[in-house]
Amino acid sequence: GLPERITIWEVGARDGLQNESAIVPVDVKLEFLDRMADAGSAVLEATSFVHPKWVPQLADAEELLARLDQRPGVRYPVLVPNERGLDRALKAGVRDIAIFASATETFANRNLNRTLDEQFAMFEPVVTRARAEGLDVRGYVSMCFGDPWEGPVAREQVVAVGKRLLDMGCSQLSLGDTIGVATPGQVKALLGMFDSVEPLAVHFHDTYGQALANTYASLECGVTTVDASAGGLGGCPYAESATGNLATEDLVWMLDGLGVQHGVDLDKLVDTSKWMSGVLGRPSPSGVVRALRG
């Protein structure tokens, strides 16, 4: 059966806006996060403390957090790749972080400037220190199904990377289909290789239109945290074939139909995406946004 309730992990402000070619003003980001909190989001991934030259779109992380009106009961995790990033996040008062590992050698190199093996040495002190400070740490694994340079990715390799992150002290593992090539049978096969589904979250990009089908397959496997971005914003600047994440609206429409609770108000969500698409000057790729935009 399906879970009664799930958590939608909203990544629009981070995964979405990191991939905009234009730099979105911090006021727009703040309004986006406010609107999403009003719509009922429980987790709003806010930004990244990465090198500003690597992701100039999120170079305003300090200002964003200083000005953010953090709502009680809402979590605002941020991405942190290394100790320098952790120092910045701690100084900004962050309580929730995510590290982001690669399942493949090529993407570790392109996204982190590290080998597959070296990435763990970079993350280890981050997780240890963050846990000692009482922070919660999520671990992402990218390229879980396919890699634009290496092709199909062996499930054993994904599980090995994931296990190292859990052993390090991550409380949750978000399995990323960074380039959106997975199909539901592959998703079920990968999820089934972990000892327990409990710490697993899923992160689908919608490049091939499979994100919702893959999410449904994940729910059937017992996954209760699903990543999505309002209006389908998103991608990854270091993986060119990646497009936007699963649109939160598409997810919410399906969950409402299934009777799976999630706490997000669809009307407020669609209003937010309509507004954002005006700001960005392009329509949302989400079918639900297009159908409901009025």
* Residue 112, contacted partner among ligand HMG, Mg ion, none, CB below 5-8 A by kind: ligand HMG
State the CB neighbour count (10 A cutoff) for residue 129: 15
Is 155 or 270 the residue whose CB approaches ligand HMG more closely?
Answer: 155
Q: Is the dihedral of CA 202, 150, 79, 275 positive or negative?
A: negative
Span near ligand HMG by CB under 6 A; candidates 23-31, 76-84, 129-137, 151-159: 76-84
Distance in angstroms (rounded) separating the CA atoms of residues 110 and 248: 28
Is 51 or 71 the residue whose CB approaches Mg ion more closely?
Answer: 51
Residues 139-198 that bind Mg ion (CB under 5 A): none
162 phi and psi, to 5 degrees?
-60, -45
- At closest approach, how far in Å is the CB of 145 from ligand HMG? 10
Residue with tokens 């400037």: 113
* Residue 54, contacted partner among ligand HMG, Mg ion, none, CB below 5-8 A by kind: ligand HMG
170 is catalytic: no
- At closest approach, how far in Å is the CB of 157 from Mg ion? 19
CB 228 within 8 A of CB 219: no
Span near ligand HMG by CB under 6 A; candidates 105-113, 151-159, 253-261, 274-282: 105-113
Helix (H, G, I), strand (E, B) or coil at 33: helix
* Residue 140, contacted partner among Mg ion, ligand HMG, none, CB below 5-8 A by kind: ligand HMG
Q: Is 206 in the site for Mg ion (CB under 5 A)?
A: no
Name the catalytic one among 144, 170, 221, 236: 236
Q: Is 15 in the site for Mg ion (CB under 5 A)?
A: yes
CB 143 within 8 A of CB 168: no
Q: Is 176 in the site for ligand HMG (CB under 6 A)?
A: yes
Is 127 or 236 the residue whose CB approaches ligand HMG more closely?
Answer: 236
Starting at the edge strand found earlier in the chain, the sheet holding 78-79 runs 43-44, 7-10, 225-228, 200-204, 172-177, 136-142, 96-102, 78-79, 47-48
Taking CB positions, which residue lies at the least distance from ligand HMG?
Answer: 176
Residue with tokens 């910045």: 88
Residue with tokens 């899923």: 202
* Residues designated as active site: 236
